C-alpha cells in the first residue's frame, strides 16, 4: 500500500462518505421536473426556487443524536452553521431560519439554546419561528433555512466544466474539540466581521461570475465533497494532494475526514482562480488550485510518486445523483 492508496481507501470507507449512498433512493421518489418554479433541487446544497427576478434558496439539516448527547452546545451551534454554509455555497445570502426542537432533558436544552444563540450572533441570521416539543422521549434539533440570490448568480454543484481549475479555500485557524473529533471549529470566538465576511465572499464570487460550481466542505471531507460535486456534474478530474491547504501538525487522513467550519470547493475558468483565492485571503482563509476537471468521470488523486482512482462514477456512487 502507498500513501495515496491508503488515503483513498480511508476516504472510500469513511462513514461521512458511505452514509450518503442512500440519498438517491429518497430523491428518486420525489421528482421535481413537473414543477416549473424549481430550478434545481436534488444534489445541490439548497433547492433553488424561482421567484421573479430572484431565486429563493431553501435547505434544511438535522443534527445527529450522538452529537446532541455528547455536546449540546456545539449541536445547537452547528445546527445553524451547517445551514448558513449551505446557503453560502449556492452564492446566496441568508434571510431567516425556523427550528424544530424536541427535548427530553431540560438541562440539555439550555446548552442547546445557548449554542443556537451564539451562532445567530456570529452569522447574523435570525430564527423567525419553529416548533418545540418540550416533553419528548428523545432529544433532537432540526433547522430549515431560507436565503436569496439573483437568478443569474446561482452557484450550482452540478455545473462543473471540462478544463476548470479545482480550487479549495479553507480557514486553517481553528481547533478540533474533544467532543467532536472530526469537526474543525473555526468560527467560535473569531471576529464576527471575519466570520460573516467568509460567507459574503462566496456571494461576491457568484455575483462576479468567477466560478462555475461550488460546494461547502461538509461531512464527507474535502475530497468526498469534491467527489459529490463531480458526480452530480457527470465529470471527473484529478487532485494533487500535496497542493491541498492543511493546518500545521494535522494528519492528512484526519484532514480528509474533517467537517470544516469554513471550507469551500470551487471549479472555475483558470483565469478566475487567483481572484477567488484573493477574496478568501482577505477574510483569513488559505486557498489553492489543487487540480483540474475533466470528462473522465473518475476522480484521481495523486502525488509526485503515485496516483489512484478515488471514485469511478461509471460504477461508484456517493449520492447516486447526477446531471
Q: Is the pLDDT of residue 315 over 90?
A: yes
**Inside any domain, residue 83:** yes
Distance (Å) of CA 126 to CA 119, 165, 186, 274, 313: 10, 36, 21, 34, 39
**Inside any domain, residue 25:** no
Same domain, yes or no: 139 and 172: no
Same domain, yes or no: 161 and 145: no
Same domain, yes or no: 131 and 199: no
Residue 66 confidence (pLDDT): 85
Same domain, yes or no: 172 and 284: yes
Whole domain around residue 131: which residue ranges?
Answer: 32-152
Residue 51 confidence (pLDDT): 93
Which among 147, 268, 139, 263 has a CA at the least distance from the CA of 201? 263
Same domain, yes or no: 147 and 160: no
pLDDT band at 23 (very low <50, low <70, confident <90, very high): confident
Q: Is the pLDDT of residue 32 over 90?
A: no
**Inside any domain, residue 255:** yes
Last residue of a domain, one of 134, 152, 170: 152
| Percent of the chain's residues with pLDDT above 70 | 100
**Inside any domain, residue 275:** yes
- Name the domain count of the chain: 2
CATH number at 42 reads 3.30.1330.10
**Inside any domain, residue 27:** no
Same domain, yes or no: 10 and 116: no
Q: pLDDT digits over 57-100, tens only? A: 999 998 988 889 899 999 999 999 999 999 999 999 999 999 99
CB atoms within 10 A of CB 284: 17
Same domain, yes or no: 185 and 251: yes
**Inside any domain, residue 26:** no
pLDDT band at 27 (very low <50, low <70, confident <90, very high): confident
**Inside any domain, residue 319:** no
pTM: 0.96
Residue 105 confidence (pLDDT): 82
Q: pLDDT digits over 225-281, tens only? A: 999 999 999 999 999 999 999 999 999 999 999 999 999 999 999 999 999 999 999
Q: pLDDT digits over 245-255, tens only? A: 999 999 999 99
**Inside any domain, residue 323:** no
CATH number at 306 reads 3.90.650.10
Same domain, yes or no: 173 and 74: no
Same domain, yes or no: 162 and 258: yes
Angle at 142 between CA 136 and CA 144, to 5 degrees: 140
Same domain, yes or no: 198 and 49: no
Same domain, yes or no: 134 and 177: no
Report CA Rg, the chain: 19
Residue 136 confidence (pLDDT): 87
Which DSSP helix (H) or strand (E) runs through 251? none
**Cα(242)–Cα(245) distance, integer angstroms:** 8
Same domain, yes or no: 87 and 100: yes
Q: pLDDT digits over 289-313, tens only? A: 999 999 999 999 999 999 999 999 9
Last residue of a domain, one of 117, 137, 152: 152
Q: Is the pLDDT of residue 199 over 80?
A: yes
Last residue of a domain, one of 152, 181, 204: 152
Q: Is the pLDDT of residue 208 over 90?
A: yes
Amino acid at each position: 500500500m502507498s500513501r495515496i492508496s491508503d488515503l483513498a481507501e480511508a476516504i472510500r470507507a469513511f462513514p461521512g462518505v458511505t452514509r450518503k449512498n442512500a440519498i438517491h433512493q429518497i430523491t428518486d421518489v420525489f421528482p421535481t421536473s413537473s414543477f416549473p418554479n424549481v430550478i434545481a433541487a436534488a444534489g445541490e446544497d439548497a433547492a433553488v426556487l424561482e421567484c421573479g427576478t430572484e431565486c429563493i434558496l431553501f435547505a434544511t439539516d438535522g443534527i445527529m443524536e450522538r452529537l446532541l448527547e455528547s455536546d449540546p452546545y456545539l449541536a445547537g451551534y452547528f445546527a445553524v452553521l451547517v445551514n448558513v454554509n449551505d446557503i453560502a455555497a449556492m452564492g446566496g445570502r441568508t434571510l431567516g431560519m425556523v427550528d424544530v426542537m424536541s427535548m427530553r432533558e431540560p438541562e440539555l436544552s439550555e446548552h442547546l439554546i445557548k449554542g443556537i444563540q451564539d451562532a445567530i450572533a456570529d452569522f447574523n441570521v435570525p430564527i423567525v419561528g419553529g416548533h418545540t416539543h418540550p416533553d419528548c422521549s428523545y432529544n433532537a434539533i432540526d433547522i430549515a433555512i431560507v436565503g436569496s440570490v439573483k437568478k443569474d448568480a446561482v452557484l450550482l454543484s452540478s455545473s462543473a466544466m471540462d478544463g476548470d481549475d479545482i480550487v479549495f479555500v479553507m480557514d486553517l485557524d481553528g481547533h478540533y474539540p474533544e467532543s467532536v473529533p472530526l469537526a474543525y471549529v473555526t468560527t467560535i470566538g473569531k471576529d464576527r466581521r471575519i466570520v460573516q465576511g467568509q460567507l459574503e465572499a462566496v456571494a461576491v464570487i457568484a455575483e462576479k461570475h468567477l466560478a462555475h460550481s461550488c460546494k461547502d466542505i461538509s461531512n464527507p471531507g474535502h475530497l468526498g465533497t469534491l467527489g459529490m460535486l463531480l458526480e452530480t456534474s457527470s465529470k471527473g478530474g484529478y487532485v494533487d494532494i500535496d497542493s491541498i491547504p492543511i493546518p500545521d501538525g494535522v494528519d492528512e487522513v484526519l484532514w480528509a475526514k474533517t467537517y470544516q467550519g469554513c471550507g469551500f470547493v470551487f471549479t472555475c475558468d483558470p483565469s478566475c482562480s487567483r481572484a477567488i483565492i484573493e477574496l478568501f485571503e482577505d477574510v483569513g482563509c488559505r486557498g489553492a488550485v489543487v487540480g483540474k476537471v475533466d470528462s473522465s468521470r473518475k476522480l484521481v488523486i495523486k502525488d509526485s510518486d503515485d496516483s489512484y482512482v478515488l471514485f469511478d462514477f461509471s460504477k461508484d456512487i456517493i449520492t447516486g445523483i447526477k446531471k
